[in-house]
Amino acid sequence: MPELPEVETIRRTLDPLLRDRTIASADVLWERTIGRPGPEAFAHAVIGQSIAAIDRRAKFIVLRFSSADVLTVHLRMTGELRFAPCGSPPEESPHLRVMFQFTDGSQLRFHDTRKFGRIELLAPAEYEALSQSLGSEPLDDAFSAERLAKILHARRRMIKPLLLDQAVVAGLGNIYVDEALFRAGIHPLSHSSAISDDLVVRLHAAIVEVLSEAIDHRGTTLRDYRSGLGEAGENRTRLRIYGRRDGTPCEVCGSPVRRIVVNQRGTVYCPSCQPLIGDG
């Protein structure tokens, strides 16, 4: 479900609600949701931990405990993290997978229809290793057009799979890659090393713009995504290419858009606005 803008929106909504709260207990209703250190050890180890900060890295929500341990949440396709104030009605959803109870009676609930989401408790060094394995944060100042040019020109890969690779650029997913390539006028099968510096500048600007706008509109809700307060995002109407059906007219030039499959991901582009560069 969520890409960088959705995860960031959840982080922002949860930040003031979770900060300084202390976990009283954790219930694991679906064991495979918990990776390290395993369901029982996890439920025990989080008791008494208090939340010092909530960060985001790539598509991970990162709860930093005052102990320096780190709880990571990856929502994968259908995960949802929701805060429930003290006195909220009990959970009735059959898709509740993990529930954290705080000492003041409020709760943090992890729902996940498809059960792909993962929660882990990591020691500081383990979290560092995870973060090291991920690529640039596209909204950091360090992610410049020059840096993107180095990344693209150093690899011989198709541009779309490259941008989806979290070890290269962290946080992009299927929606925003298609949107950024559309805005930059680059065919998704273009060869990364053949993209000119001028086009890389356009692509860099498109990535930053697409992600920033989506955050401004609190994410894209297609079906499952909700903020930490259960609200849908407003970005869907701003999508220009993602999700369009094959043959429907391009919003810019009117020629029919194409829908293809790239690495098992549905991919929409306009053959007229997005010419192929290199072999693809």
Question: Would you please indicate which residues are annotated as catalytic (active-site) residues?
Answer: 2-3, 59, 265
What does DSSP assign to residue 245?
A: P
CA distance 32 to 184: 40
All residues at 6 or more sequence positions from 2 whose CB lies less than 8 Å from its CB, including other chains = 10, 59, 75, 79, 173, 219, 225
All residues at 6 or more sequence positions from 57 whose CB lies less than 8 Å from its CB, including other chains = 130, 131, 134, 137, 170
Closer by beta carbon to DNA, 23 or else 211: 211
Q: Nearest distance from residue 175's CB to DNA, in Å?
A: 5
Q: Nearest distance from residue 78's CB to DNA, in Å?
A: 7
- Which residues form the interface with DNA (CB under 7 A)? 1-3, 6, 32, 58-59, 74, 76-77, 94-95, 113-116, 157-158, 161, 164, 166, 173-175, 220-225, 263-266
CA distance 68 to 168: 27
Q: Residue 139 is encoded by which pair of tokens? A: 């909204």
Closer by beta carbon to DNA, 102 or else 225: 225
Q: Residue 23 is encoded by which pair of tokens? A: 């976990």
Q: Nearest distance from residue 86's CB to DNA, in Å?
A: 29
Closer by beta carbon to DNA, 230 or else 266: 266
Distance separating the N- and C-terminal Cα atoms of the chain:
27
Closer by beta carbon to DNA, 20 or else 246: 246
Q: Nearest distance from residue 157's CB to DNA, in Å?
A: 5
